[in-house]
Chain A
Amino acid sequence: MKPLKLALRIWITITSLLSFLVGWALLSHAPKPASIFSSQTNLSSVSSPAAVDPLPTLAPIPSLDSILTNPNTTVNLQPLPSFTNNASNNNFLPSFRTRGS
């Protein structure tokens, strides 16, 4: 068994050394990684406020009162009052249908 073990150790050592050398050679010839900045851009131009689009202006957050009194709102709040308020629309008329019984 001893000669077999010795041969195995030698084989492992040689293949490890060869793999290391091949890897070293490949990496030394590989292309270098590109910079995250293009060649025309530098850090100072990126940080300049003039080059950034202005942030949009947001509408003011509506108050709870205005949401509750606006019938067109789509915000789903807690249980709505059961009565339908159509006071803001003077032309509103409920739909009456004969149905029949």
Chain B
Amino acid sequence: MHSYEFRAMNTGILLAGEGPQEAVETGFSLAQKFIEDSEKRFTRFSSQSELSQLNRSAGGWFEASKEMFAVVSLALQLYSQTAGLFDPSILEALEQAGYDRTMDEIRLYGPTQVTVLARPKLHHFNEIRLDEPGCRIALPAEMRIDLGGIAKSWIAEQAALLLSNWTEACAVDAGGDMFFIGLPPGEKAWKVTLEDPLPLGEGGGLAVIKAPAGAVATSTVTRRRWKQANKEQHHLIDPRTQQPAETEWLSVTVLASHAAQAEVFAKSLLIGGPQEVERITGRAGDIEFIAVDYQKKLWGSQHILEKIDV
């Protein structure tokens, strides 16, 4: 199997494909171009991006690209399925927590020292309006949205679909958001190492997930962290409190049919915790999950044991 790695969306991207070398490499080039173009569209860290333009248009209608309309529509659907535990309108709270520049910049220079004068205004993502025939989006006045995680996973799935035109089986891994098409030759599943979420862990895996074709995504509170005024912060905002979530698990990995679905439910299960599992998975449809707690104990859905080697 051929593979290719590069960096985009502030993370490492891994493309893999089975097939004749020349065809696979053409697929890699097209997938990379798609990912890089999509990053420019969906980033909130560039004032020129389509997402920044959409945020500036709050209070009126915005003529969106079909890609932006697709992701925002998907986000609205998943907001509803997670009963609001996933809500892209938490951008103001995220910035107040210090995530107002790229993670690479935060790691280098720390967060911007801002004085928080007021609690972020509470929005609900279902206040947005969509005009499907006109491909237009209207955000309520003062609402700004962040599509970081859901856009990354959607991009991974679309890139995999693009790559599949040139391969017999392929995979795209965008910093832990993975989408698999087909199976590796002679294998019954794709093997994914479930990492120890603790940064001081030994770097080994806690288990091996045997993933079928489809999506695998992980949310964790241990990777994107920083200190703001001597307080530890992370990037997962609980929409109910508008603060970085206090979680009982360190990470949640979800296997699902689609990448955005896996990413959003991983985030929602991490924020909601054990108390919300039944309610969340009941609305999720056909997903499996595995969670790691602070003692590195594994928790999971009913059939996940059939898909892991511990």
Contact A97 B176 (CB under 8 A): yes
Within 8 A of B (CB), among A80-101: 82-87, 90-101
Contact B2 A101 (CB under 8 A): no
Select one of B3, B176, B185, B186 contacting A99, CB under 8 A. Answer: B176
Contact B2 A84 (CB under 8 A): yes
Contacts of A95 in B (CB 8 A): 193
| Chain A interface, number of residues (Cβ within 8 angstroms) | 18
- Size range of the chain B interface in the assembly: 35 or more
Number of CB contacts from chain A to chain B under 8 A: 89
Contact A101 B11 (CB under 8 A): yes
A98-B176, A100-B176 known; A83-B2 Cβ under 8 A = yes
Contact A99 B14 (CB under 8 A): no
Contacts of B173 in A (CB 8 A): 94, 96
Tell me if B216 is interfacial: C-beta within 8 Å of chain A: yes
Contact A85 B21 (CB under 8 A): yes
Contacts of A94 in B (CB 8 A): 1, 3, 14, 16, 171, 173
Contact B191 A96 (CB under 8 A): yes
A84-B4, A98-B193, A100-B176 known; A93-B187 Cβ under 8 A = yes
Most chain B CB atoms below 10 A, which of A87, A95, A99, A100: A100
Chain A binding surface SS class? loop
Interface string of B1-17 (1 = CB under 8 A from A): 11111100001001010
* Closest chain A residue to B196, Cβ basis: A98
A94-B14, A94-B171, A96-B191 known; A101-B1 Cβ under 8 A = no
Select one of A84, A90, A98 contacting B192, CB under 8 A. Answer: A98
Most chain B CB atoms below 10 A, which of A90, A93, A96, A97: A96
Within 8 A of B (CB), among A52-101: 82-87, 90-101
Contacts of A91 in B (CB 8 A): 186
Tell me if B184 is interfacial: C-beta within 8 Å of chain A: yes
Q: Which 10 A-B pairs have the closest CB atoms?
A: A100-B218, A99-B176, A100-B220, A98-B218, A94-B3, A96-B192, A94-B16, A100-B176, A97-B193, A84-B3
Which A residues lie at the B interface, using CB under 8 A?
82-87, 90-101
